[in-house]
Structure 1
């Protein structure tokens, strides 16, 4: 797409813009964040355009833009931007089913992933007034509903305890006897009332107490099966947490930094029903050993990396990953490999693999 000529007021010196981004990026933006302020969910999508200049002498092509939420989409130039030329990225935020303060990230990758930029948008969303049925859209059992079928804890350090609350609502006109069954596989406990009155909202307290030891790293996967008046829900509420090591609060201590290239492995279009392999590079750009506490290959994937394996500071490791293609034609298979390490900046990383059938 061809870019329109920008206003003269935008053509400020690129050096002023460079203060807000990494020096490796040839794309310098007029701003790196935008606050939409107070908006109403009922008004729908809001839009902002970020403008940029290519301060390098070489053409730069934006290859891909990734957003932290499906509620954010972005339009960007698909043709290379010549050195010294200007461009724009238009970001759309859909506030549907959100409320309160919203923070979203937009990641920009140039061709060959030679550079990387991040933009941020904010908003304070006023939700559409709704009744219990709209606020709690997921049917569980009988007249008991919930506002979410997932309870994500995020990071929990070994030896620590954390509690999250799951909300249930009885949208009926009679009290309901409640019971909850769990998998109890990772030190999870649940507290809940035995009765929910008509039109009442109750809180289910879900608590993780993470044990210490080599076997207590990585992602947990638990479930809550809700039973109302003896009727069990057809699907559970999924509960998960990311178990990591307890890091020192000393910011000056030596620490590893993991780098994965590429972090998203595309195998392209291949004949169906076969296993395909690729080699990736995992490096440690920090100043202490990088330790892999937990390596989990999911969904028909594999990786030649083991629990407890280490990478010395400044070193790299060539690793083979594989994925099994679907046996059906014209399908996309996506797999993931989860890595839990002692990198304090990002101790859990998900490596994504994608392959298409011809």
Structure 2
């Protein structure tokens, strides 16, 4: 076989391979593949658009699935084979309920050989509907007074930095009501400040302003929690505003070159089956410092039935570690599955709080 013949055979083989590769790649083309709904009124409910695609490949294809990352977007399509040159439709529905503002959603189309063969996009802007007073202020505090929430959850509270939040209110009655907030003496940090009106006119809306301020010279670490019971016209319906946060060091006060880093060996301590009247079992975990400065334990808190000899003030040098013993009192509660926690607050500026779960099954 001469050289010219060999070259001819190679060229033919490559051409055949190229044809086969093209035959293995069916094409489903949508024009357009993007649909802009424009302004969508939330009050009008779901909107729909039908995309039309053409099989421009050389063999039939079957749409196996159309996926999206949001349950608000629902596609409808046929799994019947689409012959070369034929058309198929995919109808996409978008539900704007409780989704105000702009949206931009992609849908991925997969063939029966599990390859993504096309992408569709829908977009638009949801115009929110007018919400009722009951939706905006779902908490009925009695006497016509309604609140938008009963929880003020701060993240971290730093010494010398005032942290502020608020609870919105509206008086839906046709008369002026009086408002009193009574702190629960059993759940009181002594650091909470409240700014609230004593009297609220009919139809008036406003906010109960709530703030924490930890003195810079006397830091408080760990959980800060307060509870305020509402009395409207001298009567209570049991509505209580709960405020809480975690006292920690201000990360801006810790230079990066001296910052510690905390790591724990486990996030769940498992005691397994434990006899209710038996001895108190113990487990241990390791607290490590992978940073550049001393890691200092600022606060230690235990949930019901759990204890530890670890105390605030423990310092772990860079590269060092400390063993923490955790003890369980099986008689502290009833029988069955039990879950508690160990909370550690350190001077780690990136992750001051570590919450470790503790589980057990209490048996007779």
- Pair in the same fold by TM > 0.5: yes
Partner of 1:308: 313
What secondary structure, in the 3-state scheme, does the structure 2 residue paired with 1:248 have?
Answer: helix
Q: What whole-Å deviation, never above 9, does each CA across 1:31-85 have from its counterpart, x for those lacking one? A: xxxxxxx997977xxx8569xxxxxxxxxxxxxxxxxxxx9xxxxxxxxxxxxxx
Partner of 2:93: none
Segments of structure 1 that go 5 or more residues without pairing to the other structure are: 1-7, 10-37, 51-70, 72-94, 102-123
Partner of 2:163: 162
Partner of 1:220: 224
Partner of 1:352: 357
What secondary structure, in the 3-state scheme, does the structure 1 residue paired with 2:134 have?
Answer: helix
Count how many residue pairs are aligned between Structure 1 and Structure 2: 256
TM-score normalised by structure 1 residue count: 0.61
2:251–2:350 Cα contact (<8 Å) kept: no
Aligned-partner Cα distance in 2 for 1:146–1:249:
37
Query: Does the C-alpha gap of structure 1 residues 130 and 324 become closer, same or farther in structure 2, counting only changes over 3 Å?
Result: farther
1:286 corresponds to which of 265, 284, 291: 291
Aligned-partner Cα distance in 2 for 1:194–1:265:
48
| Deviation (angstroms), 1:203 | 0.2
| Deviation (angstroms), 1:128 | 6.6
1:237 corresponds to which of 231, 238, 241: 241
Aligned-partner Cα distance in 1 for 2:211–2:325:
37
| Deviation (angstroms), 1:309 | 0.6
Segments of structure 2 that go 5 or more residues without pairing to the other structure are: 1-23, 26-39, 47-66, 72-95, 103-124
Aligned-partner Cα distance in 1 for 2:68–2:218:
47
Q: What whole-Å deviation, never above 9, does each CA across 1:277-325 have from its counterpart, x for those lacking one? A: 2111111111111001111222221123111011111111111112334
What secondary structure, in the 3-state scheme, does the structure 1 residue paired with 2:251 have?
Answer: coil
Partner of 2:7: none
Aligned-partner Cα distance in 1 for 2:126–2:320:
46
Q: How does 1:1-358 map to 2 (within 5 A)?
A: 48=68, 129-182=130-183, 185-213=189-217, 216-248=220-252, 252-272=256-276, 275-325=280-330, 327-329=333-335, 331-358=336-363
* Higher normalized helix content (fraction of residues): 2
| Deviation (angstroms), 1:257 | 0.5
| Deviation (angstroms), 1:140 | 2.5
Superposed CA RMSD = 3.6
2:262–2:289 Cα contact (<8 Å) kept: yes
2:159–2:219 Cα contact (<8 Å) kept: no
| Deviation (angstroms), 1:165 | 1.0
Partner of 1:88: none
Q: Pick the structure with greater CA Rg.
A: 2
2:41–2:129 Cα contact (<8 Å) kept: no
Aligned-partner Cα distance in 1 for 2:217–2:353:
17
> Mean Cα displacement is larger for which, 256-265 or 245-254?
245-254
| Deviation (angstroms), 1:161 | 1.2
Aligned-partner Cα distance in 1 for 2:361–2:126:
38
What secondary structure, in the 3-state scheme, does the structure 1 residue paired with 2:260 have?
Answer: coil
What secondary structure, in the 3-state scheme, does the structure 1 residue paired with 2:281 have?
Answer: strand
TM-score normalised by structure 2 residue count: 0.60
| Deviation (angstroms), 1:126 | 7.6
Aligned-partner Cα distance in 2 for 1:48–1:276:
49
Q: What whole-Å deviation, never above 9, does each CA across 1:146-196 have from its counterpart, x for those lacking one? A: 222211121121111121111122233332111222356332111111222
What secondary structure, in the 3-state scheme, does the structure 1 residue paired with 2:197 have?
Answer: coil
Query: Does the C-alpha gap of structure 1 residues 196 and 98 become closer, same or farther in structure 2, counting only changes over 3 Å?
Result: farther
